[in-house]
Amino acid sequence: RERTEIAPGAVHVPGYLTLEQQRELVDACRGWASRMRHTKLPSGGVMSVQTVCLGWHWLPYRYSRTVDDIDGAPVEPFPDWLGQLGRDALATAYATPTPYAPDAALINFYDDAAKMGMHQDKEERSPAPVVSLSIGDTCVFRFGNTETRGKPYTDVELRSGDLFVFGGPSRFAYHGVPKVLAGTANPASGLTTGRLNLTLRETGLT
């Protein structure tokens, strides 16, 4: 199948998920959706994306076993089937079996207006890759460099069913989502509007 390495360790696999797998993931995410929140930033801002976490709760800028910034409830468990999907995704992207034991998922929902600014993901204590799965509306994903928030960067469209893996030298690159392309979702994906992104991570925490 098609695999594009946009930078060392950063591999895009278009159409990785079947429509049936996309619908199953959307259904699972609907079960967690009542816990989706706009994360508050220490700057006083609020993220436009809505997020729910599994396994470990991410808050700026650490992980917790409890939803410390909302109600202190225990974080939802990270299901085994999602770890299996992550291992299959990594093996497909890197075209070689690679040990992978993700213990956290961040599930982000983007409405038409949501964006994510350029940032690095540095809260994990493991060098393992991040697996990203996209469903629903197409977005413009911006993949930058490890030195600065700005140029040089590469813009890539992520469509429903696409897999992206970020490992090796790409693991700590700046990245963001400057735009969601409204109205591009295929209803057969399970989403009629908006974009879902699941990222699987090894936190390296105990």
Instruction: By CB under 6 A, name the one of 164, 180, 185, 191 that touches ligand MD3.
Output: 164
Residue at token pair 């299959």: 88
The DSSP element (H or E) to which 202 belongs, if any, is none
108 or 203: CB nearest ligand MD3: 108
* Cα separations in angstroms, 183 against 53, 141, 196: 26, 17, 14
Amino acid at 161: G
Show the 3-state SS of 4-59: EEEECCEEEECCCCCHHHHHHHHHHHHHHHHHCEEEECCCCCEEEEEEEEECCEEE
Verify binding: residue 93, ligand MD3, rule CB under 6 A: no
- Return the half-sphere exposure (C-beta side, CA atoms, 13 A cut-off) of residue 186: 13
Instruction: By CB under 6 A, name the one of 24, 76, 121, 157 that touches ligand MD3.
Output: 121
Touching ligand MD3, residues 95-114 (CB under 6 A): 106, 108
Instruction: By CB under 6 A, name the one of 13, 52, 173, 185 that touches ligand MD3.
Output: 173
Among candidate residues 183, 198, 161, the one with its CA nearest the CA of residue 15: 161
Options 46-54, 89-97, 119-127, 136-144: segment touching Fe ion (CB under 5 A) = 119-127
Amino acid at 200: L
Which residue of the chain is nearest ligand MD3 when measured via CB?
A: 197
Cα gap 107→133, rounded to integer Å: 10
18 or 154: CB nearest Fe ion: 154
Options 76-84, 91-99, 146-154, 171-179: segment touching ligand MD3 (CB under 6 A) = 171-179
Cβ 165 to Fe ion shortest distance, Å? 13
Instruction: By CB under 6 A, name the one of 11, 75, 116, 128 that touches ligand MD3.
Output: 116
Residue numbers of the site for Fe ion (CB under 5 A)? Answer: 121
Residue numbers of the site for ligand MD3 (CB under 6 A)? Answer: 106, 108, 116, 121, 130, 132, 164, 166, 170-171, 173, 175, 177, 197, 199
